[in-house]
C-alpha cells in the first residue's frame, strides 16, 4: 500500500516528467511534418511524436515506481500490474497537434486497483500543469483550483467531444447537443478530453460529457475533478467512468440535471473498453 508521503513524492516526480515530455512535444510542433502522420484507423491519427513521447514517459515512470504496470494508448508497454497501473496518454489532442491548434496535453494517472489515486495533466501550450492526488486537493501550477459554483445548467458552460470515427450513436449525440444548447450558456469542443476535465476542475466550465473514450483519455482528469469538489459518473450515474467509455463530469451542483438531460437520449447504451 502506498503511503501519502510516497504518493506525494510520486506526484512531484510525475509533474516533472510531464513537463519534460511536454517540452519535447512543443519543440517537435515547431517543425512538424504532416507527411509523417500515420492512421491507426479512420480519422484515428498518430504521429512519431505520440510514440516517442510515450516511450519517454514509460521509461521514466518505470524508474520512479517499478512496481506499477501500464495502460498506454500507443502500446509502448502493455504489461499490467496486479495492484498499481500507470494510465498514459502521451499526447491527448493529437488531431489538434497535427493541425497546429494549440490545445493538447500530456496525461498521466496512477490507479490502485480500480481507483485513480493520482493524476497529472500538462497542457503544453499554456504551460499549465494540473495535478491532484487522493485526499490532497487539486492544483494548477501550485495554485489550488476548485469547481465553479454555478447552481444549474442555465448558468453553465458545457464541454464535449465530437465523434470522429464511430458514428453509430451520432443521432443520440446530436440530440443531446441540441437539448443542452437550449438549456445552458452553450457548448465547447476543445479537442482534448484531458483538458476538458481540467477545465471543469478549475471552474472554467461547469460540465463535460463524451462517449467512446478510453481510460487513458480520462483517468488523470477524473481525480482532478473529484479533488476540486466536482462529481464524475458514467451516463447512467454509476461509477464505470474510467473503462466504461462514457463520462459525465460536473461541478456537482448541476450533476443531477445534467444526467437527466443525457438520460433522455442515452438510456440503455453500453460501451466498454477492452484493456486486456
Residue ranges of the binding site for Mg(2+): 73, 89, 91-92, 217
β-pairing, 207-211 vs 157-160, is parallel
At CA 100, angle to CA 41 and CA 29, rounded to 5? 95
H or E segment and range at residue 72: strand 69-72
Cβ–Cβ under 8 Å, residues 264 and 171: no
Residues in the chain, overall count: 276
Strands 157-160 and 231-233 turn out to be unpaired
Q: In whole angstroms, what is the distance from residue 126 CA to residue 253 CA?
A: 28
Binding-site residue positions: 73, 89, 91-92, 217
Please say whether the beta carbons of 221 and 201 come within 8 A.
Answer: yes
Residue listed under C-alpha cell 438531460 = 261
Cα angle for residues 264, 202, 130 (degrees, 5° grid): 115
Amino acid at each position: 500500500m502506498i503511503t501519502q508521503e510516497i504518493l506525494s513524492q510520486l506526484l512531484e516526480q510525475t509533474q516533472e516528467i510531464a513537463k519534460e515530455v511536454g517540452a519535447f512535444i512543443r519543440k517537435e510542433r515547431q517543425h512538424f511534418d504532416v507527411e509523417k502522420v500515420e492512421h491507426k484507423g479512420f480519422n484515428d491519427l498518430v504521429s512519431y511524436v505520440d510514440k516517442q513521447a510515450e516511450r519517454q514517459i514509460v521509461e521514466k515512470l518505470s524508474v520512479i515506481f517499478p512496481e506499477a504496470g501500464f495502460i498506454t494508448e500507443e502500446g509502448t508497454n502493455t504489461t499490467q500490474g496486479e495492484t498499481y497501473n500507470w494510465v498514459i496518454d502521451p499526447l491527448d489532442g493529437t488531431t489538434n497537434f497535427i493541425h497546429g491548434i494549440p490545445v493538447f496535453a500530456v496525461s498521466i494517472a496512477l490507479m490502485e486497483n480500480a481507483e485513480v489515486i493520482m493524476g497529472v495533466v500538462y497542457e503544453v501550450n499554456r504551460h499549465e500543469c494540473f495535478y491532484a492526488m487522493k485526499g490532497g486537493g487539486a492544483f494548477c501550477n501550485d495554485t489550488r483550483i476548485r469547481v465553479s459554483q454555478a447552481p444549474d445548467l442555465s448558468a453553465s458552460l458545457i464541454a464535449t467531444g465530437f465523434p470522429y470515427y464511430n458514428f453509430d450513436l451520432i443521432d443520440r449525440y446530436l440530440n443531446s447537443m441540441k437539448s443542452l444548447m437550449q438549456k445552458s450558456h452553450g457548448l465547447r469542443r476543445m479537442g482534448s478530453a484531458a483538458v476538458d476535465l481540467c477545465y471543469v476542475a478549475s471552474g472554467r466550465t461547469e460540465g463535460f460529457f463524451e462517449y467512446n473514450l478510453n481510460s487513458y483519455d480520462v483517468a488523470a482528469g477524473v481525480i482532478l475533478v473529484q479533488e476540486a469538489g466536482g462529481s464524475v459518473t458514467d451516463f447512467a450515474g454509476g461509477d464505470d467512468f474510467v473503462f466504461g467509455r462514457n463520462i459525465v463530469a460536473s461541478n456537482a451542483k448541476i450533476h443531477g440535471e445534467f444526467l437527466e438531460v443525457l438520460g433522455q437520449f442515452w438510456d440503455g447504451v453500453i460501451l466498454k473498453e477492452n484493456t486486456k
